[in-house]
Every structure is written in structure tokens, then in C-alpha cells.
């Protein structure tokens, strides 16, 4: 079967760490990438979950609350104070 080359730009440190990992489990980088490709083709999906950052600060509900609070402050419905640090 003919082979083809895939070229991908990867952070140099990531490449070094990935290569070291592959070596530690008895693979080379090419074999690891081929395993990934074969798994994608067999399962018709990326073989791991890809998720957006789920930091609750950025939830639509919290963003709406923040924007409402900002608007209230702009309308003079609030007061400012120094940051209160929690006691340890």
C-alpha cells in the first residue's frame, strides 16, 4: 500500500514530550499518529472528548448577571469599596 506524508506544525516542546512518551511505550511518533488515524476512521469520530472551557464564570447566566450589575453601577445603583480579602 502506498504511503503519504502528513506535515503538521507542533510546538517544539510538545513534539519532544510526545516523542519521549511514544518511546516510553514502545512506539515511534509515526506509529502513534497512524493509530490515531486508524481509530478515527474505524470509529468515525475523534477518539476522545473535545470540550469547550466550562469555567462557570463564563456561563451565559453568570455573564448576564455581571452585565446587569455593571449596568446598575453605571446608573448609580451601587457603591464601591476596597477589596475585602478573606481571612485564612
Nearest-angstrom CA–CA distance, 30 and 12: 16
Report residue 86's pLDDT band, with 50, 70 and 90 as the boundaries. confident
* More confident position, 8 or 56: 8
Q: Domain 8-78 - what CATH class?
A: mainly alpha
Predicted confidence (pLDDT) at residue 9 exceeds the cutoff of 80:
yes
- Kindly list the domain boundaries of the chain, sorted by start residue: 8-78
15-66 pLDDT, tens digit each: 999 999 999 999 999 999 999 999 999 999 999 988 777 788 888 899 999 9
Nearest-angstrom CA–CA distance, 36 and 6: 13
Query: Is the separation of the CB atoms in 24 and 18 below 8 Å?
Result: no
Q: What is the 3-state secondary structure (H, E, C) of the chain?
A: CCCCCCCCCCCHHHHHHHHHHHHHCCCCHHHHHHHHHHHHHHHCCCCCCCCCCCCHHHCHHHHHHHHHHHHHHHCCCCCCCCCCCCCC
pTM, rounded to two decimals: 0.57
Q: What does the pLDDT read at residue 25? A: 97
Amino acid at each position: 500500500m502506498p504511503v503519504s506524508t502528513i506535515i503538521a506544525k507542533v510546538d517544539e516542546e510538545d513534539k519532544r514530550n510526545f516523542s519521549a512518551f511514544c518511546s516510553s511505550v514502545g512506539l515511534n511518533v509515526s506509529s502513534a499518529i497512524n493509530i490515531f488515524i486508524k481509530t478515527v476512521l474505524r470509529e468515525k469520530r475523534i477518539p476522545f472528548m473535545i470540550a469547550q472551557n466550562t469555567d462557570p464564570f463564563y456561563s451565559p447566566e453568570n455573564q448576564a448577571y455581571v452585565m446587569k450589575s455593571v449596568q446598575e453601577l453605571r446608573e448609580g445603583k451601587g457603591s464601591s469599596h476596597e477589596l475585602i480579602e478573606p481571612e485564612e
